Amino acid sequence: MTLESPTLSFEEWDSGLQEKYHKLKTTIESKMPDVWEPLEFTLSVLMILSIKDNTLPFAGIILGNASSFKTVGIEMLRTWSATYYSDSFTPKSFVSHNTSVKREQLAKIDMLPKIKHKLLLAPELAPIFTKREEDLTDMIGILTRVLDGHGLETDSGAHGQRGYSGDYMFTMIGASVDIPYRVHKVLGNLGPKLYFLRLSDKGKKEDGEYICQLNNNSFNEDFREIQRLLVDYLHWFERCPTAEKDLDKMLYKIEWNSDKNKAEALKTIIKLGKLLSHLRGVIPTWETRDSQGIDYAYTIASKENPDRAIYQLYNLARGHALLEGRNYVTMKDIPLLIQVTLSTASRERVKIFEALIDSIGVLTTSEIKKEVNTSNNTAKRTMQEFVALGLVTLIELGNNGPTEYQIQLNSDFEWFLSPEFQKLRERYRLRNNEYSTFTQFYLL
């Protein structure tokens, strides 16, 4: 049914939302500037739940150093009605087969029904990503199945078959320091359904800034003020006169206006989705020293079909649009998607791809060695991986010294060399491709 709000027009609601959004953002930027980046991502993922008729879950993971404010936004949303918070869980928690619990009592501890139509907040995912490879494969296999949104049914010798089927839509935000390369390999083989946001490098702080922090330790006060503004914004968002309240899901749903989507934004999302499907492909490579020119060979790359990546990036763009009070996508939603695209592939590949962009689409073996601070052999293996991924063409350079190779970005990806892309990525560029080396004062 449509939410009754006879005293509030859409224009009044929209004006109020813009005011509250602006106040929330400017307050964060003045008091806790490092919080806005992860919070904007978190709120965009939360808003995906409010897209009418969308049933595809979205899982986002914030990557950043310890003490990098990546979990502050998660903590601020901890008590919000549309969230479910868990400091620690395993994918097997979704549908339990605990042998110490009677079968008829298991439904009370299953996590899947509890997160249905909610945002799952998981501030610490490192314990999952650091498991042994066989356990990791099992856990990510369960997680990727749940992220289809159709429930989960599993079997065990203790309780037989248990689980749930139907519409089990949810979204998820987690946090971790980083994702080991072996996790990317497992994700590539099982179906890459996780999307990452690597926090930007803020640069080093001067001693004077630390002195100011020590003399003005107002974190708790600032946290409460920002949380109050955040809750005020979310309550106002739910007052949208055109929203429909789904009583079964206890959510406010907003109908999407596809006719108002900007064509330029949609074309950009498609480019990003195609790039992502190449960047996070899986390619087995092996050394062939003295038998092949570059000393490395590879099998056919295992790449995802770009359709799902394109649609998930589109959903994230729609979540960001709703955050700003729009039910259509514009170019304002693209910078966040660029950061997510360049965070979701392995860190090493993103470094090389960004170096390719900065060098107008051409890199040599020596330049790659310098860029990622690695050996000649590793540089050559990386070049061969990019060839297998379909991103570049490999050329052997003639010289009198050690054999030098060059990779050139393929024409399908020339748009990423354009001034338009350079401008769009400026806000979220992974500066120096490194995390900040300073330690934040507030240990969160």
Q: How many CB atoms lie within 10 A of CB 310?
A: 19
The predicted pLDDT at position 248 comes to 66
| 43 and 190 co-located in one domain | yes
| Residue 279, domain member (yes or no) | yes
198 within some domain: yes
Domain boundary among 209, 235, 258: 258
CATH number of the CATH domain containing 133:
3.40.50
What's the average model confidence in pLDDT over 59-66?
Answer: 89
Query: Does some domain include residue 30?
Result: yes
DSSP annotation of 149 reads: S
CA dihedral 22, 28, 34, 39 (to 10 degrees): -60
Q: Which residue has the higher pLDDT, 397 or 258?
A: 258
Q: What is the pLDDT of residues 220-231, one digit of tens each?
A: 899 999 999 999
In this predicted structure, the answer to whether residue 435 has a pLDDT above a threshold of 70 is no
pLDDT digits (tens, 9 = 90+) for 126-161: 888 888 877 888 888 888 899 999 999 999 888 999
Per-residue pLDDT at 2: 46
In this structure, is residue 153 part of a structural domain?
Answer: yes
Give the pLDDT of residue 296: 53
Name the β-bridge partners of 175.
62
C-alpha–C-alpha distance, residues 218 and 215, integer Å: 9
Counting runs of H as helices and runs of E as strands, what totals does the chain give?
Answer: 16, 14
pLDDT band at 443 (very low <50, low <70, confident <90, very high): very low
Contact 146, 168 (CB under 8 A): yes
Among residues 413, 409, 404, which one has the least CA distance to residue 392? Answer: 409
Q: Average the pLDDT over 327-355 and give the result.
A: 92
| Highest mean pLDDT pick, 77-86, 99-108, 285-294 | 77-86
The string of pLDDT tens digits covering residues 114-131 is 999 999 999 988 888 888
The answer as to whether 22 is a domain residue is yes
Do 209 and 304 belong together in one domain? no
Query: What's the confidence (pLDDT) of residue 64?
Result: 87
**Domain total in the chain:** 2
- The residue with tokens 């968002």 is 237
Tell me if 133 sits within 8 A of 183, measured CB to CB: no
Please check whether residues 212 and 287 belong to one and the same domain.
no
Domain with 89 in it: 10-258
In this prediction, residue 217 has a pLDDT band, given cuts at 50, 70 and 90, of: confident
Domain match, 236 and 310 both: no
Instruction: Give residue 281's pLDDT.
Output: 84
Residues ≥6 apart with Cβ < 8 Å to 68? 34, 199, 435, 436, 440
pLDDT value of position 59: 95
Residues 264 and 345 in one domain: yes
CB atoms within 10 A of CB 383: 22
What DSSP string runs through 110-137?
-SHHHHTTSEEEES--HHHHTS-HHHHH
CATH number at residue 364: 1.10.10.10
pLDDT of residue 439: 27
- The predicted-structure confidence for 280-336, as pLDDT tens digits, reads as follows 888 765 555 544 445 555 566 667 789 999 999 999 999 999 999 999 999 999 999
Q: Confirm whether 108 is domain-assigned.
A: yes
**Residue 291, in any domain of the structure:** yes
**The token pair that represents 95 in the structure block:** 């549908």
Is 153 found in the same domain as 185? yes
Last residue of a domain, one of 258, 291, 310: 258
Residue 428: per-residue pLDDT? 58
**pLDDT recorded at residue 74:** 93
pLDDT at 247: 61
Q: Which of 210, 228, 258 is the last residue of a domain?
A: 258
Residue 272: is its pLDDT beyond 60? yes
Helix axes of 334-344 and 306-323: crossing angle, nearest 10 degrees = 140
pLDDT at position 399:
63
pLDDT-derived band at 434, boundaries 50, 70, 90: very low
Q: Which residues contact 135 (CB under 8 A, 6 or more apart)?
A: none
Q: pLDDT averaged over the chain?
A: 85
Q: Is 255 helix (H, G, I), strand (E, B) or coil?
A: coil
Residue 430: band (very low, low, confident or very high) from pLDDT cuts 50, 70, 90: very low
Is the model's pLDDT at 172 over the cut of 90? yes
Determine, yes or no, domain membership for 441: no
Residues 175 and 221 in one domain: yes
Q: Span 42-53, mean pLDDT?
A: 96
Q: Which of 241-255, 267-281, 406-420, 428-442 shows the lowest per-residue confidence on average (mean pLDDT)?
A: 428-442
pLDDT confidence bin for 214, thresholds 50/70/90: low
CA 36 from centre of chain: 15
Comparing CA positions, the residue from 414, 280, 411 lying closest to residue 342 is: 280
What pLDDT score does 433 carry?
A: 38
